[in-house]
Amino acid sequence: MISKLLAPAIGAISALALLVAVPTTAGAQSVEGYWQKVQKAGVLRCGAAVAPPYVMRDPASGEYSGFFADLCREFAEVLQVKPEFVDTTWDNIVAGLQAGKWDMSLALNRTPARAMAVQFSIPAMEYQISLAYNKENPKIPGAAASVADVDKPDVTLAVMSGTAQDKAISAAVKQAQILRLPGNDETRLALTSRRADILVDASDTNALFTQANPDWAVVLNPVPALAKQGVAFGLSHDLSASDVEVVNIFLEEKVATGHVDDLIRKANDEVLKGTK
């Protein structure tokens, strides 16, 4: 009698054991990552909006250059696929990524607003407000490292009026004189003519200026930073954490070895040649 009562339970336990012991086909298979799908397609699509020296496009040949374009090509080499640049605008560079028109957007500033729409890699470079000046200027201490080090009553700072640079430096200085001018040409002329002691501008713009005037111009990226943001690859929210990590590991090595700095100098040289 007892054996008859236990028989159904024993049968149920045996069936459960069989289910646990034999994995399902779906569970046994690994999930395909985003970059494996790109490898199958054979093409890495990079959304590119022109912004020298990050991304440039030759109007005659359609060829892309700039250090983020170079990074796109190098990441494609890692994946062993062909890079393909998809021309876009800054108005559409996030929306196009969301719509799946390309696999990564080039040279996006990492902002909270954008982070709600897309993911980011680690920064390839840090964008901030920097200070360019004549290294022979006795008013600027040789060991200057912060805005406070140059915040003196006899120092004049040239900045484009109404810009983010203007707002940031106005909030940071207490003694120095601020010379607000309408455009980049005027602020640069103020420094070269010594009407101003320091040019306050975006770090990438000042890098171009100092590279064009290597005999006397130097740049200071102050610590603490003024309005610092990372510039990175934009990635779709469809990518998993492990997919994003693939890009991050790629960039970590490029940044740590100074390779990105070399690409930036190369891109700056290209911009400067185009202005001559």
If asked whether residues 146 and 102 sit together in one domain, one would say: no
25 in a structural domain: no
Specify the number of domains making up the chain: 2
Domain-embedded: residue 7: no
179/215 Cα distance (integer angstroms): 24
Q: Same domain, yes or no, for 159 and 219?
A: yes
Which sign does the torsion angle of CA 98, 100, 104, 107 carry?
negative
DSSP 104: E
pLDDT at position 11 is 46
In a domain, 156, yes or no: yes
CB neighbour burial string for 176-194, b if at least 16 within 10 angstroms, e if fewer: beebbbeeeeebbebbeee
In angstroms, what is the C-alpha Rg of the chain?
27
Q: What is the reported pLDDT for 276?
A: 59
| 102 closest CA partner among 54, 12, 34 | 34
pLDDT score of 221: 94
pLDDT of residue 12: 41
- Domain membership of residue 74 as a residue range: 34-118+236-275
> Whose structure tokens read 């640079």?
165
Residue 100: CATH number of its domain: 3.40.190.10
Segment-wise mean pLDDT, segments of 10 residues, the chain, 276 residues: 40 39 44 94 96 91 96 98 96 95 95 93 93 97 95 97 90 97 92 97 90 94 90 96 98 97 92 76
- Is residue 98 in a domain? yes
The pLDDT score that the predictor gives to residue 222 is 95
pLDDT at 144: 95
Identify the DSSP state of 25: H
CA gap 7, 69 in Å, rounded:
70
